[in-house]
A and B are shown apart, each in its own frame.
Chain A
């Protein structure tokens, strides 16, 4: 009887089996690590917010005063600052990102012009946030100051408005790319059906493509909102750093991210730090929810092929 496998081979195979099990476990555990990491982040933020949560409770969310000296912390100015800048940025960016989506998704899908615009948008997306902020502070803010002088309002230069503009430039690439993807995916059959009925390109876009891609476009907008909410450096440099509720869009203000950026390193006292961490927790949860909504929208309302 021929021995199919030699003793030496058997030993080697046993070693390979061990390595196989080891390997499978390592990649499995690394996957589990991600889950644990996220929970650890959430728990750390929550746990370290307890001091502030205990003292202020729900008042934290509508407290108007942020006073480290008297240990009174209310986050409302930052919530308002964040909402104002993000939504303003969103509204300003929509026509532009929308145009880019249609440009790249429908009019110029391939070719040199398409590559050119794609590259430019990618470069725009690649500019670090600090450079946006720096440029915003030194080049853009003076322009805004000039406009404010002309309009007869206090020429801060920096403020909610300036921050919103800079922010809108930064988030354009995000909704643009998601929008382009969904517009590209619209099946040519239904477009051709519309054309064959005599519709102009504009009409096909308006009445066929957009309704079809609507959920994807919406999802892109929601996700770029998430991006705007968490943006720190560019906003910090041009938002004016005032811890009071902004009176109008030209006032200085602060966002949740920017107040953390400004004050965390020098925060003395456990309550102060905890209050800032609590803001971080709120920021974490808000961006989490926005992102989940964005994913939910694309799943639920996507037109099935």
Chain B
């Protein structure tokens, strides 16, 4: 009997060890990747790298300014398109929980979230690039906006659901119209959750390449015109990595480092937002 129990105890301890081991082993790639990014990327980083435009192969120097600016422009376009709609849908879903239409919309939002980003690139191509007959930042922004929508919708809905009914009732009892109640009282009370959702969705699309391959397309020059092709950090990394030139590989490492910095910073800021801006009821 004692042997039996001993066996079981050993199994128990072993299992725990295996679980802990495998769990932390899963995080090794993170360190691996960061290590290489820093090792290969950091020392090509200097101010010129961030400010200059790319130079043709063979010429020294050159930077990724167009890609950095491009990424920000794409973020602005897709945010402009997705945030208003996303918040409105989130408000609708939170205010109409029991309606059948809400259930359908929720379903569709989930489906939207699962669409592979390359497919959204095809859609933006067919809807915008083809009629316009050329690539553009706008089409890239549209693809990214569709990607941002589900995250913004869900986080808005979940945030608003947490706001107590009595706040709305207090506003109504003062004679407030419905739209004022939602816009002046409810939305501000949920600002931290909504902003977090926006920041998270931005950090996701900042690193997206697939939907930009045949929409924003890429551009070796600086471009501020949304109707023309534009470079972005992830796309530049892809281009340079694929190329046969070691100098470009070098730049790709540095650009990757910058990209990860941006993505991680956005994530970090979104956590801060939750802490600092959280409204207490």
* A interface list, Cβ under 8 A from B: 16-17, 19-20, 22-24, 26-28, 30-31, 33-35, 37-38, 41, 44-45, 48, 95-97, 99-100, 102-104, 107, 117, 120-124, 126-135, 137-139, 169, 172, 176, 200-203, 205, 226, 229-233, 237, 257, 260-261, 264-265, 276-277, 280, 283-284, 287-288, 290-292, 295
Q: Taking the complex as formed, is B111 at the interface, i.e. its CB lies under 8 A from any CB of chain A?
A: yes
B112 contacts across to A, CB distance below 8 A: 34, 37-38
Residue of A nearest to B29 (CB): A169
B182 contacts across to A, CB distance below 8 A: 23
Residue of B nearest to A16 (CB): B177
B209: which of A31, A103, A129, A202 is its contact (CB, 8 Å)?
A129
A284 contacts across to B, CB distance below 8 A: 115-116, 119
Given contacts A117-B23, A130-B237, A131-B256, contact A230 B117 (CB under 8 A): yes
Interface size class on chain B is 35 or more
Task: Tell me whether chain A's interface is mostly helix, strand or loop, or mixed.
Answer: helix
State the Cβ distance, B51 to closest chain A Cβ, in Å: 23
A41 contacts across to B, CB distance below 8 A: 115, 119-120, 123
List the count of A-B residue pairs having beta carbons below 8 Å apart.
236
8 A Cβ contacts from B213-233 to A? 213-214, 217
Cα–Cα, bound, A133→B252 (Å)? 12
Cα–Cα, bound, A107→B259 (Å)? 35
Cα–Cα, bound, A20→B203 (Å)? 35
A23: which of B33, B179, B217, B237 is its contact (CB, 8 Å)?
B179
22 residue pairs A–B, Cβ–Cβ below 8 Å: A22-B179, A23-B182, A30-B89, A41-B120, A96-B23, A96-B25, A117-B24, A123-B30, A128-B234, A128-B259, A129-B210, A131-B33, A132-B33, A135-B36, A138-B36, A138-B249, A139-B36, A200-B8, A261-B210, A264-B214, A287-B115, A291-B114
Cα–Cα, bound, A35→B110 (Å)? 11
Q: Taking the complex as formed, is B32 at the interface, i.e. its CB lies under 8 A from any CB of chain A?
A: yes
Q: Taking the complex as formed, is B49 at the interface, i.e. its CB lies under 8 A from any CB of chain A?
A: no
A126: which of B115, B149, B238, B263 is its contact (CB, 8 Å)?
B263
Stretch of B52-60, B97-105, B162-170 on the interface side: B97-105
State the Cβ distance, A219 to closest chain B Cβ, in Å: 12
B178: which of A23, A287, A288 is its contact (CB, 8 Å)?
A23
8 A Cβ contacts from B110-134 to A? 110-112, 114-123, 125-127
Cα–Cα, bound, A100→B19 (Å)? 7
A264 contacts across to B, CB distance below 8 A: 121-122, 125, 213-214
A44 contacts across to B, CB distance below 8 A: 123, 126-127
Task: Tell whether, in the assembled complex, residue B92 and residue A131 are in contact, meaning their CB atoms are under 8 Å apart.
Answer: no
Cα–Cα, bound, A201→B178 (Å)? 53
B273 contacts across to A, CB distance below 8 A: none
Given contacts A127-B263, A132-B33, contact A202 B117 (CB under 8 A): no
Cα–Cα, bound, A294→B157 (Å)? 22
Residue of A nearest to B242 (CB): A237
Q: Taking the complex as formed, is B20 at the interface, i.e. its CB lies under 8 A from any CB of chain A?
A: yes
A237 contacts across to B, CB distance below 8 A: 238, 241-242
B116 contacts across to A, CB distance below 8 A: 229-232, 257, 283-284, 287
Task: Tell whether, in the assembled complex, residue B12 and residue A201 are in contact, meaning their CB atoms are under 8 Å apart.
Answer: yes
B102 contacts across to A, CB distance below 8 A: 31
State the Cβ distance, A174 to closest chain B Cβ, in Å: 11
Cα–Cα, bound, A280→B143 (Å)? 14
A131: which of B108, B149, B177, B260 is its contact (CB, 8 Å)?
B260
Cα–Cα, bound, A287→B95 (Å)? 30
Q: Taking the complex as formed, is B186 at the interface, i.e. its CB lies under 8 A from any CB of chain A?
A: no
Cα–Cα, bound, A131→B35 (Å)? 13
A95 contacts across to B, CB distance below 8 A: 22
Task: Tell whether, in the assembled complex, residue A130 and residue B267 are in contact, meaning their CB atoms are under 8 Å apart.
Answer: no
Task: Tell whether, in the assembled complex, residue B207 and residue A103 are in contact, meaning their CB atoms are under 8 Å apart.
Answer: no
Task: Tell whether, in the assembled complex, residue A128 and residue B114 are in contact, meaning their CB atoms are under 8 Å apart.
Answer: no
Given contacts A134-B256, A202-B15, A232-B117, contact A24 B85 (CB under 8 A): no
